[in-house]
Amino acid sequence: MLLRHAKAEWSQDSDHERPLADRGRQEAPLAGRRLAGVGITPDLTLCSTAVRTRETWKLVVSELPQRPRTLYDERIYEASLGELIAVLNETPEEVRDLLLVGHNPGVHALADALAGEADGDILTRMNRSGFPTSALAVLTFDGAWKSVEHGVGRLVDFWAPHA
């Protein structure tokens, strides 16, 4: 599962330190309810160290039936597609369901690259929306995390607050 952080404020702080805007604080719990609604609780969440992703995750996880183990990884902040795939490749094999909380353009590029197949018009809807803040993509694949690469997944759900 891939989640883009909720809407952040524009501030004088460094980009890494930007907090959520009011809209982000309202939409992040909706993303959490959507995640709970798909019936998948992550075994592990990998979250960027940026303030807005950590705040998003705190609001999302409060909507889940149980809190997964969470690792904050500075590599996710401003990560390229290749860097995000490398992070996924390091996921321990005992992890079945993983959530990555990150930023665009990397999260959108990752969802698009992994989706070798998609149910219905989900891929079209995701790409048309541009993967807005608080958007969630759910992909499935068979195999080991170390074998995650372009086209291995199936996009089975995409949700965004206003899509």
Binding positions for substrate are: 52
- What is the token pair recorded at 69? 């183990």
d(CA 30, CA 135): 10
Contact 115, 156 (CB under 8 A): no
In whole angstroms, what is the distance from residue 101 CA to residue 53 CA? 6
The distance from CA 11 to its chain's CA centroid, rounded to whole angstroms, is 23
Binding residues: 52
CA 87 to mean position of chain CA atoms: 13
Exposed e or buried b for every residue in 90-101, given b needs 16+ CB within 10 A? ebeeeeeebbbb
For tokens 């803040």, name the residue: 133
